[in-house]
Structure 1
Amino acid sequence: MTSFVDTFVVNVAKESDIHGSLVKFDDLKISDLKFLVYNEINHDIKFNYKYIDLWKVDIAYGERDKLKHVTTKDDIIEKFGGEQLIPIFLVKKVFFEQLLVDENIHVIVQLPAAAASLSFKEIIEVIKKNALKGTPNLPDVLSMPLQQRNFKGSMSYVNETIYNNITGRDGKSNYWVLVSGGAPGIGKTRFGQELFNQVRKDMPQYIQNIYNDRKIPHDRRRTDTHFEYLCIDFGNGHRLTRQDYGIDASIIIGLRIAHAFFIEKEYGMTFQEFRIALERYRDSFNNFHFNVVIGEIRKALNLSDKHLFFLYLHIDEFQLIDSWDKEDKSNPPTKLFYNMIHNISEFMLKSALPAFVQPFLSGTAPLAVIEQKEASRISFLFVDCPLLNDQSIIRITDHFAEKFNAGIANYAYKWKYCRQMLQLLRDTGGLPRALQRLFIVCFGADGKQGRGFFEKLEKKDIDFVDCFIKVKDSLDKQYGIRDYVEKNRNVAMKLMYFCIEGIAIEPNKCLDDNNPALTIRSLERDRHIILSSVEQSARCSLFLINMPFYFICLYNDVLCIVKPTLVHLFYDERMYWEEWEVFVAYHEAFRTNLAIKMGKTTMTLRELYPNADELDVNFDMSVELKPLCVCKANEQFPHTNPLTEKHDGKIIDWQSGNVVVINGSSAPFADVFLVRKLVHIEFKKFLMSNQCKWDYVSIKMPESKVEEEDEKNLKSFYTAVDDDDDNYILITIIFTSQPYKKEKHESGVLVISKEDFKKHFGPVFSSRASFAITGDANPNFWEKNRLKNVLNGIGDASIDNVIKKRPYYSDEDYYIKNPGAKKMPKMDYFPFDVSEILDIENR
């Protein structure tokens, strides 16, 4: 292709150096001009300059469109009336007997075929020579270290594929392309990189085991394996453009792999710049077919035929290939996605080839892959990209603690004793992007606040509510959640309901009757919905919707399910007695109000309290749903009635069924209570009485204690209320940190132990509930008075010594350090149970 971009100027002086001899302008011939042109091109590929053809033309800039697709002498003659210049003619006679316009093109240079069609290596070397050496990227001080995740399932399919390649097994079902598809920000790209690290670690021995187990002859074995990771990012770096239409799919992919291996690693040349540089060699594009490039990489690595070249090809943002394909108007269409997989599969299926390609696709459009399944020669496996678990989150934070020289006490970082910081970390839900935003808020975008943050943390001088809100607002800017919820309230309400209730749904479930294309799967691609597989069957797959707590609060900001007070309460210095009661109260209000906004007017108690005993008929009764608010009482109910609101002194109409009441401190009755009116039964109401009971010394919650609490509630209520209030049916709900096993049927009583939290609170709130309750069962966070209750015969001085022995990593560690401690069941040691012991004692 020719264009004004490819133009250049040849300066002709009064005397020109031609082969070391000075030739005067009046004597300069066209053959000499060829020599000057040759030197101006400065081509690294040697050829005889005499074979250059020069064509005299006069092309104005306004005629530039005619230059497109000019490749032959016939094109030059037909489009521009080109005149081929004769070598023995004088330049002066040809050009300077007429007036020339400076801005016009006056000569078209046609290179000989040997120069126009260069080898792959020659083209790459020319481009390298004209490219600038890349400057190393400045290290990102907030780059999160990769974490080892559970790759057992993914590795089994990589192993199966290489096994079948080596042994030559037929059938596409035996060869796997791994696909990680899901919402933006869940760490799909990181997962692909981490999986490659696992492949590089485990695969050499696995390949040798295949050779040995199958007794493969030594002359058929590869003596060594070279592992190479290449990432083709179609969203940022190797994007597809209209320039790619009409090019063979094999070349489209080959060009990008060539850039990733030969250029990107060393040179400061983007892929688009690489493409522009390649345009003059368009006739040589056949040298960039996928299989040719793979062979050239092998040569560049100096791999012998006995070497296996294992290319882990990570194709990121694969959904953009599908989008590009749908805009393809060329005839025949490129079918890039389909043909890309076809080309890759050659290096998976054929064991005779000295290269093996394991593709890993990451992106946000699983449907794009599903549509290719039947047409492909090989199989696709959707691998779960698990969110970061607690251990990974803690280790990543430890990485920054070390980077910023954080304080250490007794071989452990001091930051781990801050429960509010641990809660901020857990509120990310393991979403890498949310975790990254948290670190930016804490340490500053450039990391310069990192050391200061840890110092303030140790001094308890951090506003955790402010941190939470900044992270939440930052995530909103990235995902546009508030704006989406505002414009799609009904859909957002459904998403939140499914998430909070932990309801498993089909990925193709339509969320809007007026828009059949709006499915859970489509939102996962375009929005912030994170799906995790919970059930597979021959007919359907079911998924749970996951959202970090930050997202839930953004939804609530718009939908106003409850007042946003809940956020502030969780970052107070302690969340034991009173704070736990507030959590229970707001959870009651949140779930009820959300159900009302979903259009529900009634629910059974069993739907509201899913842990209830199946034999308890009370929980099969339906109750009216009324919008709930939360009130804190000044007084102790039922001994004082009416009750007044703590913050403004107004009367609390607790009998209306519109309020969840947090009882006054030290009340002998329930910590939290509310009224729920029965449906179709006049004058009968349930009084739901929530009791928080911590028992730190017994092995389990005894049945006698359950009966005692229920009897206490009944006695307190019926002793204090008027005769007209006997229409109330009391339901006692006890939350406990201890294990509980129901030994006999007791109507109107529900015990929710820690093991039942997920079922009761749902996946979002159960993490917070567990953290709040287990923190009080964690010796690393016990206060002095609590330690006295669980250690026999130890005075204040010894208690101080017990505190100094922290941290405790396990039951064994705790009892070895404290021989006098009472035996306690199911103690919690987070975050130290997922931490490594440091080499430094104190800092």
Structure 2
Amino acid sequence: MATSFNCSVLGDKTLNCLHKFSINIYKNNDEIFTKLRNNRYDIKEFKVDHPKDYICDATRSDKEAVKLWKVNVNVVDVVDEVGIKEKLKDENKMRPILPFSYYFRDELSGSLKEVLSVILPAKIETSSERTEIPECQDLNYYNNNRMPLKERDTNNALEIFKNNVTYSFDRLTSKTNFNFLVCSGAAGIGKTRWGYEFFNCVKKDWSPPPSWGKPEYLYLLLDFVSGVRLSSFDKDVDAATILGLRVAFDYFARGTRRERQILFEEFFILVKPYIQFFRIGSVLNYIQNQEFQRNRLIIVLHIDEYQEIFAFEKWEGGMTKKGLFKEMLYALGPLMAKSENKNFYAQTFLSGTASQDVTISAIKYSFMFVKCPFLSNKSIIEIYNYFAEKGGDKKKLWMYNTKFLQLLYVHWKLFLKNVSKEIDSF
């Protein structure tokens, strides 16, 4: 036997131990497997859901009411109810769709020697209430209720987009004639919103070439901070596949297309056996062919918080020493520079706080920086008035509330103070 995991089933209210069992991991030559009940599982196929099913059968519990956590303890702590309860934190909760080995890599590899016992508690909730994975918001409702953009001129960006499309018909056009759109500046000034409004501008005000007929439009947002953050999973993956995985995740695994969301890390694990099919060109081509049939697809690919790409120093997936950001741009460039043999056209929009890094990382393609200035006092007042009216204040009574006006001043002053700190840090 290679290793063993001690498991305890704990009641929600009393935390008294209801059931105990062990998950034994065996190794026979190069095969690693486990046995549970009368079933034998290869460790690669053994998921968290399997012990969860076992617990539900043994305790006659509703599967939806059972939660599983990974808790590292010493043997002497196993009977300490208070100690165990303190360790039951949401970040340690185990998701049934993930492999068991995902949570116990060190233990299974033998590199973890200090932990004498690993408890896999199942918290049985006796009440009818349960925690649900947040359902996706209705993006159409959200966007239809947004305030019109203030002091953001999308005309120049639209002109660049038109030129890119025109140049894409001529295969002899130099790469320097094609522009990535970039919106950079301090945090909180509306850079992410700018990208979406640019997409709306393309969809509303741009006239496609006659040969393209009536195209479809698609906006993809890759947020490298809160949505598709780089991790150790990406260490040995090439740039085109890093992008393709995130596009596939954004389009197929979250958003209004699913009733429930999953994390990108979970998505990565599920598709890893087929990772060779996830280069960005292949993913976009699949989306166009399967979802939009014969219509040409116009895509605005918005890469948000791109400064995180520069900060990812562990990457070893490139064949050159150009760095991940440059390799990504070289993967994205042909998507806007060559349109004759594709049924889709993709314009990349970059937003983040590291404008100097973009220029330092210059490539054969060019960059066009869009303006995203701080709002004037007039626009700030218009914004407050807009939401006041949405809340029922049709007579602008908020403008006569001195306490509210003082609060507005304090908040604006604090915002400027934080911005100045970020500027000084450059």
Normalised to the residue count of structure 1, the TM-score between the two structures is 0.34
One-letter code of the match for 1:292?
S
| Selected match of 2:235 from 245, 260, 266 | 245
> Kindly tell me: are residues 222 and 475 of structure 1, through their superposed partners in 2, closer, same or farther at Cα, counting changes over 3 Å?
closer
Is residue 135 of structure 2 the alignment partner of residue 134 of structure 1?
yes
Q: Secondary structure at 1:166's aligned position in 2?
A: coil
Number of the residue aligned with 2:258 = 267
Distance 2:412 2:377 in 1: 20
Q: Secondary structure at 2:348's aligned position in 1?
A: strand
Contact 1:132–1:268 (CA under 8 A) maintained in structure 2: no
Q: Secondary structure at 1:360's aligned position in 2?
A: strand
Q: How does 1:334-353 map to 2 (within 5 A)?
A: 335-352=323-340, 353=342
Is residue 403 of structure 2 the alignment partner of residue 403 of structure 1?
no
Contact 1:313–1:357 (CA under 8 A) maintained in structure 2: yes
| Selected match of 2:315 from 328, 331, 335 | 328
Distance 1:394 1:526 in 2: 30
Number of the residue aligned with 1:294 = 284
| Selected match of 1:165 from 157, 164, 168 | 168
Number of the residue aligned with 1:156 = 159
> Kindly tell me: are residues 390 and 301 of structure 1, through their superposed partners in 2, closer, same or farther at Cα, counting changes over 3 Å?
farther
| Selected match of 2:196 from 193, 209, 212 | 193
RMSD over equivalenced CA pairs, Å: 3.9
Number of the residue aligned with 1:462 = 402
> Which structure 2 segments of 5+ residues have no match?
6-21, 46-96, 98-131
One-letter code of the match for 1:370?
T
Larger Rg, first or second structure (1 or 2):
1
Distance 2:196 2:43 in 1: 47
Q: Secondary structure at 2:169's aligned position in 1?
A: helix
| Selected match of 1:380 from 367, 381, 393 | 367
Number of the residue aligned with 1:361 = 350
Deviation of 1:103 (Å) = 10
Deviation of 1:336 (Å) = 2.4
Q: Render the CA deviation track for 1:152-188: whole Å, top value 9, x for unaligned.
A: 3222211111111134451012111011111111211
> Which structure 1 segments of 5+ residues have no match?
6-57, 64-75, 83-99, 112-126, 212-220, 409-414, 416-453, 485-522, 528-843
Contact 1:60–1:103 (CA under 8 A) maintained in structure 2: no
| Selected match of 2:266 from 276, 294, 301 | 276
Contact 2:245–2:268 (CA under 8 A) maintained in structure 1: no
Deviation of 1:362 (Å) = 0.2
Number of the residue aligned with 1:312 = 300
| Selected match of 1:180 from 179, 183, 207 | 183
> Kindly tell me: are residues 101 and 334 of structure 1, through their superposed partners in 2, closer, same or farther at Cα, counting changes over 3 Å?
farther
Distance 1:200 1:236 in 2: 27
Q: How does 1:416-435 map to 2 (within 5 A)?
A: none
Seq. identity, %: 26
Distance 1:340 1:254 in 2: 10
Distance 2:142 2:159 in 1: 34
Contact 2:235–2:314 (CA under 8 A) maintained in structure 1: no
Q: Secondary structure at 2:236's aligned position in 1?
A: coil
Distance 2:224 2:44 in 1: 35
One-letter code of the match for 1:356?
Y
One-letter code of the match for 2:137?
P
Deviation of 1:401 (Å) = 3.2
Number of the residue aligned with 2:149 = 147
Contact 1:187–1:387 (CA under 8 A) maintained in structure 2: no
Paired residues, number: 317
Contact 2:153–2:371 (CA under 8 A) maintained in structure 1: no
Distance 1:467 1:159 in 2: 44
Distance 2:239 2:347 in 1: 18
One-letter code of the match for 2:407?
C
One-letter code of the match for 2:203?
R
Distance 1:329 1:250 in 2: 13
Q: How does 1:777-788 map to 2 (within 5 A)?
A: none
One-letter code of the match for 1:467?
L
Distance 1:174 1:355 in 2: 20
> Kindly tell me: are residues 254 and 402 of structure 1, through their superposed partners in 2, closer, same or farther at Cα, counting changes over 3 Å?
same
Contact 1:348–1:358 (CA under 8 A) maintained in structure 2: yes
Number of the residue aligned with 1:625 = none
Q: Render the CA deviation track for 1:278-315: whole Å, top value 9, x for unaligned.
A: 425422111211111101111232331xx321100110
One-letter code of the match for 1:151?
T
Deviation of 1:246 (Å) = 0.7
Q: Secondary structure at 2:367's aligned position in 1?
A: strand
Q: Render the CA deviation track for 1:13-34: whole Å, top value 9, x for unaligned.
A: xxxxxxxxxxxxxxxxxxxxxx
Distance 2:200 2:288 in 1: 21
Number of the residue aligned with 1:612 = none
Distance 1:337 1:350 in 2: 21
Number of the residue aligned with 1:232 = 222
Instruction: Specify which structure has the bigger relative contact order, considering alpha-carbon pairs within 8 angstroms and separated by 6 or more residues.
Output: 2
Q: Render the CA deviation track for 1:248-279: whole Å, top value 9, x for unaligned.
A: 2211111111111112123255563x442442
Q: Secondary structure at 1:224's aligned position in 2?
A: coil
One-letter code of the match for 1:267?
R
Contact 2:304–2:351 (CA under 8 A) maintained in structure 1: yes
Distance 2:380 2:249 in 1: 35
Distance 1:329 1:165 in 2: 32
> Kindly tell me: are residues 170 and 106 of structure 1, through their superposed partners in 2, closer, same or farther at Cα, counting changes over 3 Å?
same
One-letter code of the match for 2:402?
I
Distance 1:197 1:393 in 2: 23
Number of the residue aligned with 2:248 = 258
One-letter code of the match for 2:190?
G
Is residue 411 of structure 2 the alignment partner of residue 524 of structure 1?
no
Number of the residue aligned with 1:479 = 418
Deviation of 1:197 (Å) = 1.4
Contact 2:136–2:254 (CA under 8 A) maintained in structure 1: no
Q: Render the CA deviation track for 1:507-546: whole Å, top value 9, x for unaligned.
A: xxxxxxxxxxxxxxxx53957xxxxxxxxxxxxxxxxxxx
> Kindly tell me: are residues 381 and 469 of structure 1, through their superposed partners in 2, closer, same or farther at Cα, counting changes over 3 Å?
closer
> Kindly tell me: are residues 473 and 170 of structure 1, through their superposed partners in 2, closer, same or farther at Cα, counting changes over 3 Å?
closer
